[in-house]
Amino acid sequence: MPGPDAPALDIRGLHKSFGAEPVLKGIDLSLAKSEMVFVLGPSGSGKSTMLRCCNRLEEPDRGEIRVEGDPVTGPRVDLNLMRQRSGIVFQAFNLYPHLTAAANVMLALRHVQKKPRAEAQKLAHDALDRVGLGEKTHQYPAQLSGGQQQRVAIARALALRPRVMLFDEPTSALDPELVGEVLGVMRDVKGQGMTMLVVSHEMKFAREAADRVVFMDGGNIVEEGPPEQIFTRPDHPRTQAFLARVRG
């Protein structure tokens, strides 16, 4: 049995190649319960691939991933059960246009968790309340702004009561004026104790909200540390060069 002190998310020796091209070259990363870790790095550094391996949307070549001590990788893992424990939010909202906000959130509750309709409705409404959309339950995606659609996507993941939330560029598809509302929800979710692994270029938010910042390049973790250290006193030349470029 996993001990009570097991990391919320533990990645060990993670390797992944696409064809002959290695994308992840032995990633080791551990998140404590309720920790928010931001992953920064240039395009092609392996950030999103690492995140997708944590949910088995990409199959690792080698290595081990655990959520609260329970295996994510391995041939006997129940993928449906595992994915309920590690929710993922993408840059594309992936909502069904013919379903209301509440129905989108209810879908996995009904079909994966097999909840009765009344219970699924209550959980969906609670999750939408949690992201500030309690009054939008009967609206369709086309009636919602991009920021609201992304908040529905976050509610859909939260409704399954995951232990870890994975965010893959959750604001990159949004108009700039809508980014803040999604980041606000992420801050609230963190404040409620959720463990979060976030791939994003939202530097200001990372500096203010993250417990730790990880910089990846070339399929490796090059440097990690508290936000203030990474943003003001990075040790590694590659981190220094990346931050200098993105700051303009």
pLDDT digits (tens, 9 = 90+) for 51-74: 999 999 999 999 999 999 999 998
Per-residue pLDDT band for 80 (boundaries 50, 70, 90) equals: confident
Q: Which residue has the tokens 């290595």?
A: 63
Other C-beta atoms closer than 10 Å to the C-beta of 189 total 19
| Residue 21 contacts residue 197 (beta carbons within 8 Å) | no
171 CB-contact burial (10 Å; exposed 0-12 / middle 13-18 / buried 19+)? buried
pLDDT of residue 165: 96
Q: The pTM is what? A: 0.94
- pLDDT per residue as tens digits for the range 165-187: 999 999 998 988 889 999 999 99
- The pLDDT of residue 90 is above 80: yes
- pLDDT per residue as tens digits for the range 136-160: 999 999 999 999 999 999 999 999 9
| Mean pLDDT value across residues 23-29 | 97
Nearest one of 4, 41, 96 to 224, comparing CA atoms? 41
| Residue 34 contacts residue 91 (beta carbons within 8 Å) | no
Per-residue pLDDT band for 48 (boundaries 50, 70, 90) equals: very high
- The pLDDT of residue 45 is above 80: yes
Residue type, 121: Q
pLDDT of residue 19: 92
Residue type, 184: G
- pLDDT per residue as tens digits for the range 215-240: 999 999 999 999 999 999 999 999 99
The span from the CA of 166 to the CA of 77, in Å, is: 19
Other C-beta atoms closer than 10 Å to the C-beta of 78 total 8
DSSP calls for 30-49 = EE-TT-EEEEE--TTSSHHH
Across the chain, mean pLDDT equals: 93
- The pLDDT of residue 246 is above 90: no
- The pLDDT of residue 1 is above 80: no
Main-chain dihedrals φ then ψ at residue 167, nearest 5 degrees: -120, 120
| Mean pLDDT value across residues 75-95 | 90
pLDDT of residue 74: 87
Per-residue pLDDT band for 4 (boundaries 50, 70, 90) equals: low
The span from the CA of 46 to the CA of 98, in Å, is: 34
Per-residue pLDDT band for 3 (boundaries 50, 70, 90) equals: low
Range list of H helices, the chain:
47-54, 79-85, 101-111, 117-130, 146-159, 176-191, 203-209, 227-232, 237-246
The span from the CA of 118 to the CA of 115, in Å, is: 8
